[in-house]
Each structure stands twice: as C-alpha cells, then as structure tokens.
Amino acid sequence: MAIEKLKLSKRLQSNMKELGYFTAKEIQTKILSRIIGGHSVIGIAPEGAGKTTTYVLGVLMRLKYSEDDAPKVLILAPNDDKISEIVDRFITISKNKDLHIMGLKSSGSMEEEIEDLVRGVDIVVATPNRARAVYLKLGLNLNRIQTFIIDDAEEIVKQGMQTNVRELAQSCGDVQYLSFSSVEHEKLHLMIDPFMPFATLVEVEELAEEELDTHELVLYQVPNFTTKINLINSLLHDEDVFDKLVIFVNSKYTSETLLERLQVKNSEASVYLPEPSEETQLHSIQDFKQNPKARVLIIANELSNRIDLSGIPFIFHFELPENKADYINQVLKTSSEEAVAITLSTDLELPELKKVEQKLGKKFSVMPLPENLLIYKPSDNSKDKFELDESRGGAFHKKKESNSKTYNYGSGLKARMTRKNKKR
C-alpha cells in the first residue's frame, strides 16, 4: 500500500517520502488508523516490522502542542539503546523543532532530568524502573498523560519490570494504551491486562518468502525448565512411539542434568561426547542408531558439529541454540526420510523462536500440553517444592493404563506414529 493511503498529514507524508518511505508496512495499514482514532491496541509483530515507526506516526498525528509543562505521552522501553532509537525516530520523522521529547536514561543524572522535566516536555521515553523512580521523587507528572506506550514489551517482561509498568499505567488514569511486542504470551497479558483488558489485538506475521524444506515442526509451550523435563518424561512413557530420539540442549551441564532426571532405564539414555568416556555417554551417533536398547541421546550444541540425524524419527530441542543456523541445520530435510522436530519453549524464549520462524518461512504447529502433565509451580513452602520435584524431574501424574496413549499429538504427528507402528 502506498504511503498516501495512511491518511497522514501532508507534512508527515512529505517527511516520510524524504526519508525513503514510499510503501506502508502491513502493521501500519492495520493499526495506525486505530491509534489516530484513540483506541487502545496490542500490536504483535516481528522485529523489523515497523512497530516503532507506526506509533511514532500515530503520536505525531494526535499530539496537540501547547504550553502545558506536563508530558502528554509516556513511552516505556527496556534499555537506554532503545530509548535513544525512539527519541531519534521522533526527531527524524517529525522534523519539528518545537517538539519537546526527552529520554530518561539509567545512566543519566536524576536531578538534571527532573530539572529538565519541570521546564516542560511533550513526550517522555524511559525504562519502567527509571520512570517510576523519577515519578516517586515527584519529578514526573502523569496527570496530563494522553497516550501510554510500551515498546519491546517482551523484553520488559524478560527483565522483570512488569510491576513498575502496571504501577505507572494505573497512575495515569483513563488514557490511550498501546503495547507492542514480537510475541503474545501469558506473561505479557499478566502485565498489561490489568489496565488494558479490552484493547484490540492486531497480529502481523512476516515470514521469509522462501519456505525451507524441513521436518514437521511441533511446538510445546511450557512455563519453566522443570515442566520441560516433566513433559519429556510424560512423552517417553509411550515407549512404542518414542523408541528413538535425540534431545538437543545448549550445554554439557544441562545434558548431564537432564540425563539424571529422565525416567528411563539406565541403558536407554546417554549423553553424547565426541571422545570415549563413561558408560552413560556415547561418542558416536552411529553407535546410538545401531543399539536397539538405546532410546534417548542427549546432545549439547556446544559439542555438536553437523551430526548425521538420518534415521532418527524424533528430534527434540529442549533449548534453542544461540546460533539459529545450528537449529535450522538440525531440522532441515536432507533425504526422503521423515522425522518430527519437537521444540519446547517457555514464554521468555518465544521471541527467539519467532526469529527462527522468520528464517524458515513457516510457523510451528502449536500442540496442547498432555492433560495429565504436572505444571511445576515454585512455592514458598519448601515442603511443596520438594514434593513437586522430588523425582528430580519425573514429577507428573502417571496415566491410567486405559489412557496411556491419549496424548495431544496433533493430526500430522499421529499419522506418522500410525505409519511407524504399522511397520513393526
């Protein structure tokens, strides 16, 4: 869509064209009119989709300049680099010398920031922690805020600044709320739902034009590390289906921890090491493939170099590799053999998973968790903690025999399992 279709002011249209923007991004076509109309919006889009530019244009279209000393717009960002980026974007797009915008950086002097705020400012950009600290010192007046924006909300959640966001939002009263994130998940909603429960959710997907040929991609979303282990143990309970699988983790330490907490026979699980070592470790992928008793091989990404996964029906990713290319190499089809690549992800890991989807040009199939899975919830009661995790990772309700194969595998995965069992 041409930039003219966004119904921006002539001045902003001209500024955008001078900057080389002639075509509107998808998120701008879906959200900008709502922002200009004063609606509260949750925008979900990948990195680079144009989220920041979208709300900058919306704010500039709505902002009414006056001699009022109190700020009209508060923007929360996760770090000083993002604050600088946002301030620069406003200045570059607006080209308005009368626009008073200020970044409250964690590295700055709070006393000087408060003095500048008293002189008058239209837009304040800050981290949640810095904004709250200045607010508590009576340096940040929230009484005239019209628009409250959270940028890179997933990173703010990851850094644990949710409480400060909620307190600041609720101090603003009845205003327009905008939240932008690369992912939508439970922790995001726990932060924003108290003050924007009826906001319109708009999601934009931007995948690579070329879709890579991969194995079937399955995703289980779980809340934490222990629940990941519980899920693997629950799936491994079905020995007929999961008779051969590889589990990728990021470090040797994690591989050893996982090995201790798997509920399988000692002879069935091993840790991969390139050199010969203890009997619970294998140094050859071929030995694992040829050993009929071996079911599980745990491989640390830091020790793996293009391992031959042919003939392995299930490839688990307990964690995403830091190098996304490693993940892609592990799920790409290299022959006619079919396999299922199963990824376990917490809410905080989802942003990185979205980046993988962009590179692959396709989305994961999200599977519901097994009904009998015990979701580990840390408790302040040490006795509860012990009871939940006393099995060192095997904490889940055992299925009744009559229900031993009622996993929510999904149609594609079930079809492969059916074919697999017919071959026996």
pLDDT band at 275 (very low <50, low <70, confident <90, very high): low
Residue 159 lies in a domain: yes
User: Residue 227 in contact with residue 375, Cβ under 8 Å?
Assistant: yes
Residue 211 lies in a domain: no
Residues 163 and 247 in one domain: no
Residue 419: per-residue pLDDT:
47
**Mean pLDDT across the stretch 296-308?**
83
What is the Cα–Cα distance from 351 to 40, expressed in whole angstroms?
23
pLDDT band at 379 (very low <50, low <70, confident <90, very high): low
pLDDT in tens, 32-80: 999 999 999 999 999 889 999 999 999 999 998 766 779 999 999 999 9
Residues 341 and 416 in one domain: yes
Residues 163 and 191 in one domain: yes
| Domain C-terminal end among 173, 203, 233 | 203
When mean pLDDT is compared over 139-153, 264-278, 293-307, 379-393, the highest value belongs to 139-153
Residue 158 lies in a domain: yes
Residues 270 and 353 in one domain: yes
pLDDT band at 417 (very low <50, low <70, confident <90, very high): low
Residue 223 lies in a domain: yes
- Residues pairing with 102 in the sheet: 124
pLDDT in tens, 213-252: 999 999 999 999 999 999 999 999 999 999 999 999 999 8
pLDDT band at 391 (very low <50, low <70, confident <90, very high): very low
pLDDT band at 413 (very low <50, low <70, confident <90, very high): low
| Domain C-terminal end among 168, 203, 238 | 203
Residues 168 and 279 in one domain: no
Residue 305: per-residue pLDDT:
67
Range with the lowest mean pLDDT among 10-19, 102-111, 355-364? Answer: 102-111
Residues 124 and 270 in one domain: no
Residues 172 and 282 in one domain: no
pLDDT band at 356 (very low <50, low <70, confident <90, very high): very high
pLDDT band at 9 (very low <50, low <70, confident <90, very high): very high
Residues 51 and 192 in one domain: yes
Strands 245-249 and 296-300 turn out to be: parallel
- What lies within 8 Å, CB to CB, of 52 at 6+ separation is 85, 86, 89, 151, 180
Residues 29 and 149 in one domain: yes
Residue 344 lies in a domain: yes
Residues 84 and 137 in one domain: yes
Q: Which domain holds residue 159?
A: 3-203
According to DSSP H, which parts of 37-161 are helical? 51-62, 80-94, 110-119, 128-136, 153-158
Q: What is the CATH number of the domain that holds 358?
A: 3.40.50.300
Residue 250: per-residue pLDDT:
93
Residues 220 and 174 in one domain: no
Count of domains observed in the chain:
2
| Domain C-terminal end among 153, 171, 203 | 203
Residue 257: per-residue pLDDT:
94
Residue 208 lies in a domain: no
Query: Is residue 25 over pLDDT 80?
Result: yes
Query: Is residue 345 over pLDDT 90?
Result: yes
According to DSSP H, which parts of 173-299 are helical? 186-192, 225-236, 252-261, 285-290
Residue 210 lies in a domain: no
Residue 180 lies in a domain: yes
Residues 104 and 242 in one domain: no
CB atoms within 10 A of CB 27: 23
pLDDT band at 209 (very low <50, low <70, confident <90, very high): confident
CA distance between the termini of the chain: 55
pLDDT in tens, 130-188: 999 999 999 999 999 999 999 999 999 999 999 999 999 999 988 999 999 999 999 99
